Chain A
Amino acid sequence: MDYKGIWILAEQSAGRVQVISHELLTRGRDLAGKRQTELTAVIFGNNINNNDLQELIERGADRVLAMEAFALEHFLIEPYAACMLHLITQYRPEIIIAGATSTGRTLMPYVAIKATAGLTADCTVLDIEEGTGNLLQTRPAIGGNILATIKTPKCRPQMATVRPQSTQPAPRQAGRKGTVERLQAPSHLLVSRMQRINFVKNQEEHGLAHANAIVSVGRGIKKGENLKIIHPLIKALGAALGASREVIDRGWLSYSHQVGLSGKTVNPKLYVAVGISGSIQHLAGMQTSENIIAINSDPDAQIFRVADIGVAGNLFDIVPVLAEKIRQARMIS
Chain B
Amino acid sequence: MRIVVPIKQVPETSAVKMDEATGTMIRDGVEAIINPLDLYAIEIAIQLREIHGGEVVAISMGPPKASIALREAIAMGCDSAILISDKAFAGSDTWATSNVLAAAIRRITIENGPIDLIVCGERATDGDTGQVGPGIASFLDLPVASYVCKINEITNGLCCVHRMVEDGYEVLQIQLPTVMTVVKEVASPRLPTLRGKQKAKKVDLTIWDVKNLALEGSKLGINGSPTRVVKIFRPSVARNCKKFIALDDNAIQAAADRVVGYLQEKKLI
Interface residues of A (CB under 8 A from B): 74, 77-78, 81, 101-103, 105-106, 108-114, 116-122, 136, 140-155, 192-202, 213, 237, 246, 255, 261-262, 269-270, 280, 283, 291-294, 299, 304-314, 317-318, 321-322, 325-326, 329-330, 333
Q: List 20 A-B contacts (CB under 8 A).
A: A77-B137, A77-B145, A109-B131, A111-B138, A113-B139, A121-B129, A142-B11, A142-B13, A146-B25, A149-B233, A153-B228, A193-B143, A193-B174, A201-B167, A280-B235, A293-B262, A308-B239, A310-B243, A313-B247, A329-B264
Q: How far is the CB of A183 from chain B (nearest CB, A)?
A: 23
Q: How far is the CB of A160 from chain B (nearest CB, A)?
A: 10
Cβ contact within 8 Å between B246 and A101: no
- 0 or 1 for each of B121-143: is its CB under 8 Å from A? (1 = yes): 00101111111111101110001
Question: Knowing A102-B166, A150-B230 touch, does A114 contact B138 (C-beta < 8 A)?
Answer: yes
Q: How far is the CB of A135 from chain B (nearest CB, A)?
A: 10
Question: Knowing A146-B18, A313-B251 touch, does A199 contact B245 (C-beta < 8 A)?
Answer: no
Cβ contact within 8 Å between B252 and A321: yes
Chain A residues with CB below 8 A from B139, complex form: 113
Chain B residues with CB below 8 A from A308, complex form: 239-242, 262
Asked if B231 is an interface residue, CB under 8 A from chain A, the answer is: yes
Cβ contact within 8 Å between B252 and A152: no
Chain A residues with CB below 8 A from B178, complex form: 193-194
Cβ contact within 8 Å between A105 and B146: yes
Cβ contact within 8 Å between B127 and A322: no
Chain B residues with CB below 8 A from A304, complex form: 241, 243
Question: Knowing A78-B143, A143-B14, A143-B16 touch, does A318 contact B255 (C-beta < 8 A)?
Answer: yes
Chain A residues with CB below 8 A from B13, complex form: 142-143, 145
Q: How far is the CB of A204 from chain B (nearest CB, A)?
A: 10
Chain A residues with CB below 8 A from B230, complex form: 136, 149-151
Asked if B193 is an interface residue, CB under 8 A from chain A, the answer is: no
Cβ contact within 8 Å between B144 and A312: no
Cβ contact within 8 Å between A326 and B269: yes
Cβ contact within 8 Å between B134 and A106: yes
Asked if B164 is an interface residue, CB under 8 A from chain A, the answer is: yes
Question: Knowing A122-B128, A312-B245 touch, does A148 contact B175 (C-beta < 8 A)?
Answer: no
Chain A residues with CB below 8 A from B227, complex form: 118-120, 150-152
6 extra interchain contacts, Cβ-Cβ under 8 A, other than A196-B172, A309-B262?
A110-B144, A293-B259, A313-B252, A314-B247, A317-B252, A325-B259
Q: How far is the CB of B213 from chain A (nearest CB, A)?
A: 17
Chain A residues with CB below 8 A from B138, complex form: 81, 109-114
Asked if B173 is an interface residue, CB under 8 A from chain A, the answer is: yes
- 0 or 1 for each of B48-87: is its CB under 8 Å from A? (1 = yes): 0000000000000000000000000000000000000000
Cβ contact within 8 Å between A194 and B229: no
Q: How far is the CB of A290 from chain B (nearest CB, A)?
A: 8
Chain B residues with CB below 8 A from A280, complex form: 235
Cβ contact within 8 Å between B241 and A310: yes
Cβ contact within 8 Å between B128 and A143: yes
Interface residues of B (CB under 8 A from A): 11, 13-14, 16, 18, 23, 25, 93-95, 98-99, 123, 125-135, 137-139, 143-147, 160, 162-175, 178, 183-185, 225-235, 237-247, 249, 251-253, 255-260, 262-264, 266, 268-269
Q: How far is the CA of A110 from the CA of B27 in the complex (A)?
A: 33
Question: Knowing A109-B138, A110-B135, A308-B239 touch, does A329 contact B245 (C-beta < 8 A)?
Answer: no
Chain A residues with CB below 8 A from B98, complex form: 109, 113
Query: Which of A77, A116, A150, A314 has the most chain B CB atoms closer than 10 A to its own CB?
Result: A77
Q: Across the two chains, which residue of chain A brings its CB closest to B173? A: A195
Chain A residues with CB below 8 A from B260, complex form: 322, 325-326, 329
Query: Which of A81, A246, A294 has the most chain B CB atoms closer than 10 A to its own CB?
Result: A81
Q: How far is the CA of A307 from the CA of B242 in the complex (A)?
A: 8
Q: How far is the CA of A121 from the CA of B130 in the complex (A)?
A: 8
Cβ contact within 8 Å between A77 and B25: no
Chain A residues with CB below 8 A from B128, complex form: 121-122, 140-141, 143-144, 261-262
Cβ contact within 8 Å between B256 and A313: no
Cβ contact within 8 Å between B226 and A152: yes
Please list the 6 inter-chain residue pairs (A to B) with the smallest Cβ-Cβ separation, ordered nearest first. A143-B13, A118-B226, A113-B138, A313-B246, A198-B171, A155-B226
Cβ contact within 8 Å between A322 and B256: yes
Chain B residues with CB below 8 A from A291, complex form: 262, 266, 268
Chain B residues with CB below 8 A from A113, complex form: 95, 98-99, 134-135, 138-139
Chain B residues with CB below 8 A from A101, complex form: 166
Cβ contact within 8 Å between B228 and A198: no
Q: How far is the CA of A322 from the CA of B263 in the complex (A)?
A: 11
